[in-house]
Amino acid sequence: MTTDTTRRTRPGDPFRGRRRLTWVALTGLVFVSFGLAIGTGTVPIPMSDALGVIASHFGLGELPDGAANAVVWNIRMPRWLLGFTVGAALGIVGAVLQGSLRNELADPHLLGIGPGAAIGAALGASAGGTRGAIAGGVFAGVLTAFALRRLASGPTIDPTRIILLGAALSLALGAWVGFVVFGSDRGSVPPLEFWLLGSLSAATWSTATTTAVFVTLSTAGLFMMSKTLDVLALGEREASYLGVDTHLVGTVLLIVSGAIVGVTVGAVGVVAFVGLVVPLLIRKGVGPSFRHVLPAAVVGGGVFVLLADVAARSIINPVEIPVGLVTAAVGGPVFLWLIARKSNV
């Protein structure tokens, strides 16, 4: 009785119950995906040994025998960190773009930012290895975002126009990645399938931590924009009446998105459908307010890519397939289902 009345006097949040469930599910998936990421691979290592290795690196207990340490600490852990970070980055960028452009098709890769970044990353890789790839990815990602903004320029940002331009850009730039890869030295640049389908197999601590630091900082910046993103949902004019400099904010969000996506592409190539599907699913779970959407999209994107990577390692054992194949194979149907269901409401 008392709980009933308190619930009724609390103002307006029909999503609270579902939000709690969503966070319980996401927390569970964080642990499951961690266990699978650490425990899956060609070398069978018992979970207790794997956890023992990790604990020993934090000063807890003795280091188990050398093979387990090499595999778990030097291969699987950086791969776990990189996978989570890349997924988190793509999840939050997708949420930000879908929100600021008010369109469910606003995905960094469908907008051409991913393929654009891949051109720069491939060029960077031929000049300076992984570091070069990340630097080139950021540069080209920002450049592509800026070009997109310029191409769509007008007194207001027309979301439909940006998405049409982005789709054309995406196809054209995707082809140009091929020219760069085939035109450069085979040994120094990863193959085309790495850039266009993505892979976490080359993960190192250095790549993973660089990516993680960059993504953490920019994610924190985006969290501070959550109220502004809410206001943008009212449309550009209303947001402007409420004091938002919509032109500036739209440009900044697009360019920050370009930088974040550029880092992920430099590190692992283009991983499709994460930025498209994760925000849509998350909004169903936590409601439309960006204060809730952004953190949930970070975690949701992270676990999605980790689980997809585990599948990519084990579906056709011992052959490892690109992680982007799995995210697209799973994400595509989920996206279709979400959109088809929506039109029937």
The residue ranges that bind other proteins (CB under 8 A) are 11-14, 102, 227-228, 230-231, 233-235, 237-238, 240-245, 283, 287-289
Q: Which is nearer to other proteins, 79 or 283 (CB)?
A: 283
Q: Which is nearer to other proteins, 15 or 34 (CB)?
A: 15
251 in Cβ contact with 100 (< 8 Å):
no
Q: Which is nearer to other proteins, 65 or 245 (CB)?
A: 245
Q: Which of 74, 65, 63, 62 is nearest to 38 (CA)?
A: 74
CB of 224 to other proteins, least distance (A): 11
CB of 274 to other proteins, least distance (A): 22
If you search the block for the tokens 């592409």, which residue do you land on?
265
CB of 26 to other proteins, least distance (A): 20
CB of 308 to other proteins, least distance (A): 28
CB of 152 to other proteins, least distance (A): 19
Q: Which is nearer to other proteins, 230 or 320 (CB)?
A: 230
Q: Which is nearer to other proteins, 227 or 341 (CB)?
A: 227
Q: Which is nearer to other proteins, 98 or 327 (CB)?
A: 98
CB of 25 to other proteins, least distance (A): 21
CB of 341 to other proteins, least distance (A): 15
CB of 4 to other proteins, least distance (A): 15
Q: Which is nearer to other proteins, 137 or 295 (CB)?
A: 295
Q: What is the 3-state secondary structure (H, E, C) of the chain?
A: CHHHHHHHHCCCCCCHHHHHHHHHHHHHHHHHHHHHHHHCCCCCCCHHHHHHHHHHHCCCCCCCCHHHHHHHHHHHHHHHHHHHHHHHHHHHHHHHHHHHHCCCCCCCCCCCHHHHHHHHHHHHHHHHHHHHHHHHHHHHHHHHHHHHHHHCCCCCCCHHHHHHHHHHHHHHHHHHHHHHHHHCCCCCCCCHHHHHHCCCCCCCHHHHHHHHHHHHHHHHHHHCCHHHHHHHCCCHHHHHHCCCCHHHHHHHHHHHHHHHHHHHHHHHCCCCCHHHHHHHHHHHHHCCCHHHHHHHHHHHHHHHHHHHHHHHHHCCCCCCCCHHHHHHHHHHHHHHHHHHHHHHC
Q: Which is nearer to other proteins, 268 or 293 (CB)?
A: 293
